[in-house]
Amino acid sequence: MTVPAHQWLVHEPEPLVAALKGDRVTPMLVDRLPPMIAELRAIDNGAGGGQVRSLAEHEFSWVAGLLDRGSYDEATGRKLHVALAELGRVAGYMAYDMDDHGRAQRYYITALRAAHAADDRALGANILSCMARQAVELDRPAEGVTLAETALAGIRTAAMPKLHARLRDSLAYGQAKLGDEPAFRRTNKLAWQALERADADEPDWLSSISPAVLAADTGQHHLMLGKAKEAEPMICQALDGLEPGMVRTRQLWSCALAKARLRAGNVDGAVSAGWQALEISAGLSSARSTARLRSLCQEMRPHRRVPEVQEFLERAHS
């Protein structure tokens, strides 16, 4: 998984040239791609990857076809590669959300190559951040750390505080999974410091990193390290600051909050957060959300003699 990251870091991108055959790809058409991609991200956040993945994959293939068969100048070709890279990242994330990890990895690698062709180091680093999180999720945290560190090395001079925060957060995820608490705390502090410097001029594809997201991740990383009492207030803070349209995210964080409360000995609070997660789940098409709910139920089973827990487990099973 780390080989494409190394290639991205050390190889100079080939010069882009104009394509002179095929139907003309106009600047007007290319300029309409970023809002279209933003809408895909919004639908995914509200309904889960299963609802919109086929649409994202269709649009990815369509843009790839424009690059292969259209005619365009160098500036338009660069924008097409940027659009292909972000569509690949979005389609990869949707496949990841549906537990289709092989497909996700293929989209990520294709997206990374498109970002490299466009000479967009920041976009490539963001794709590597997604790959790092996938590696940690697949119990390969050392590879996740390598991917995040490679991305940071590649954008060392980039003035994008949000991107630095995102990459530090991905690195902290791997460190927490490895059980390296001192490294996690150092990296997490750097992520917060970077986010404090963020401004409104950063690319739209960085809109998903916010104080709420970083607070939730910080809480969940504390949970991985066995610090349930530190985790709960961070996840609560995150849920309070979450935007209304981030429906799947609310479900995932509610599951995390329930686990934090359960491990801290607050069974009633865990059930309350669990009900929130369960109610949201009915409207989602997300294997990741289902897996988080199933994991929560497994942790709750030792408490099933408590009537409220038993009622929750029965409802979740149905």
Q: Work out the widest C-alpha separation in the chain, in whole angstroms.
A: 72
pLDDT digits (tens, 9 = 90+) for 211-249: 999 999 999 999 999 999 999 999 999 999 998 889 999
The pTM score is: 0.91
**Burial (CB count within 10 angstroms: exposed 0-12, middle 13-18, buried 19+), residue 240:** exposed
CA distances for 311 relative to 294, 306, 315, 316, angstroms: 15, 9, 6, 9
- pLDDT band at 20; cut points 50, 70, 90: low
- pLDDT band at 15; cut points 50, 70, 90: low
Residues in a beta bridge with 19: 72
CB 236 within 8 A of CB 274: no
What is d(CA 105, CA 56) in angstroms, rounded to the nearest whole number?
15
The pLDDT value given to residue 26: 87
CA distances for 207 relative to 71, 80, 117, 199, 212, angstroms: 32, 21, 23, 11, 12
pLDDT digits (tens, 9 = 90+) for 270-292: 999 999 999 999 889 999 999 99
Residues in a beta bridge with 72: 19
CB 59 within 8 A of CB 36: yes
The pLDDT value given to residue 265: 96
pLDDT digits (tens, 9 = 90+) for 250-273: 999 999 999 999 999 999 999 999
What is d(CA 302, CA 318) in angstroms, rounded to the nearest whole number?
19
The pLDDT value given to residue 157: 65
CB 205 within 8 A of CB 168: no
Average pLDDT, the chain: 92
What is d(CA 190, CA 37) in angstroms, rounded to the nearest whole number?
30
Query: Average pLDDT for residues 150-171, to the nearest whole number?
Result: 90
pLDDT digits (tens, 9 = 90+) for 25-84: 888 889 999 999 999 998 888 888 888 899 999 999 999 999 998 888 989 999 999 999
